Amino acid sequence: MRTTPLAAVLAAAAAVPALAVPASAASRPSPTARFQHQRLVWGPCSPGQQELNEAGAQCARVTVPLDYAAPGGRTIQIAVSRVPARDKAHRRGVLLSNPGGPGGTGLDYTLSLRPALKGAADRYDLIGFDPRFLGESTPITCDPAPPPSPPGATSPRADFEASVRDARATAERCGAHGGNTALLPHASSRNVARDMDVIRAALGERRLSYYGTSYGADLGAVYAQMFPRHTDRIVIDSSTDGHSTQYELFRQAGGPLESGLDEWAAWTARHSREYRLGTTPARVRAGVQRLLARAETRPITVAGQPLNAPLLRLYFRQLVQHTENDPALARSVRTLTDAAAGRPVTPDADLAGFLRLAGSSGLADLMVGGALFMCGDGGWPAGGWPRDPERYWANMQRGRADQPVFGPLVNGMIAPCAFWPVAPREPAVRIGNAVPVLMLQARRDNNVPYPGAVALHRKLAGSRLVTVDIRSHGVFGRGLEGKRPVPCADRAVAAYLSGGPLPHRDSTCPAPRDSR
């Protein structure tokens, strides 16, 4: 899932001396030259990368400095994959990508985009990579999370204090494991961008093209800011305003999430015969709020797994992101309502999957990958997350009035960054350039709300913004996920990556028709 967006994007002017070589020193070898000119050894990808192997990909390891300020010191390795361009006569170069997170691995992600890119993909070597410390790259390993204790009778304050304990425990698990304190300060988006540029150079390319979604969009903005002369075609989908802290961005989602729930409630009311959750939007929403009020004192048990209010809010948030999830959310609320009344229930696949995750250490494990970069990106407290738990509690209580469903989640969820054992190595700086960038954004995105993308668009003076009025997190390639595609946006991305010009002006794509 997409967790917390990147709050601070980083400027080239603040790059460390290892990469910013003065013109007067141009005749001297770059401290990173040995990384940029390394010889890669290609071979089969790991057995677990079935899609890559079936596509004829090869994989390699790119050696990069752990600390770009000390390139003669310790090194780590970045796992990369390559699927050669099919249209060699019109080959443009290499296309890298990132699927988001933060904490998402991407060794096979660029290849997965090929069906949506159509002929544009044939003009590139499709390059996937796992960001530093993730997947098959040199890892950061934290101590395993203990199995969660089944929640019993509780209260909003007890649930909040449990979340504080969990966040502190995650930070301690990562800080206590092996030599992590030497690695954690170097887990940052700025360093991932530097790694991308080493990948580019090691592949023998003067420039790279890139597609990123969600956190991957923010990463693309970071790369374009740090390495403007090395960019070819940059496409970023569902981005944020990097001038807000991560906690601020998390809180900004509260209002759009409530609006998304209102849309779902209206749809569900129109299907009241099927779901029996109310004949008006107000009655449907009231039922959700009753469920949460009950779960704030007595968790609702489904298939033997108790779900307290924080877990329900997290589950509802994942489903309300996309209009196509409306039936799944309605089915789940119907099941939870029946379970709360003591009636026998059978969860559908969506709810059953979440129940398995809630009953394991899976949620805690998911938090770790995102925390590495949330906590390593600029500023102290790490990533801009307040260190005082009472500040979260106060914001959580204030937000209940106009955000009764999602306010306690976006205002009260405390990240491990509040207790992170190391400070970020580099400060956050601000985006501002005229690098050509194609931006995509859904107007009713309730994960990274639309105003943030508009703000970034203004700072990327050379960018063009393609908007579509849908409730979705992500615009390009929605058909790959079984959602209704936006053909206009897909065509715009394919045309630009094929070598066409950046659109002359911003545009709005027609929304796909709702056939439900």
User: Where do we find the tokens 């955000």?
Assistant: 403
Closest CA to 446 of 318, 263, 314, 257: 257
Point out which residues pair with 60 in neighbouring strands.
80
Closest CA to 415 of 361, 380, 449, 375: 375
Given a contact cutoff of 8 angstroms between Cβ atoms, the answer to whether 455 and 9 are in contact is no
Catalytic residue among 137, 163, 188, 214: 214
Active site residue 214: yes
Retrieve residue 345's tokens: 């229930």
Point out which residues pair with 127 in neighbouring strands.
82
* Residue 175 burial (C-beta neighbours within 10 Å; 0-12, 13-18, 19+): middle
Catalytic residue among 186, 322, 457, 473: 473
Active site residue 469: no
Catalytic residue among 445, 463, 472, 498: 445
Given a contact cutoff of 8 angstroms between Cβ atoms, the answer to whether 235 and 438 are in contact is yes
The one-letter amino acid code at 400 reads: R
Active site residue 445: yes
What is the length of the chain? Answer: 516
Relative orientation angle of helices 349-358 and 362-374, to the nearest 10 degrees: 80
CA 266 to chain centre: 28
CA distance 66 to 185: 10
CA distance 43 to 325: 40
- Give me the active site residues, please: 214, 445, 473
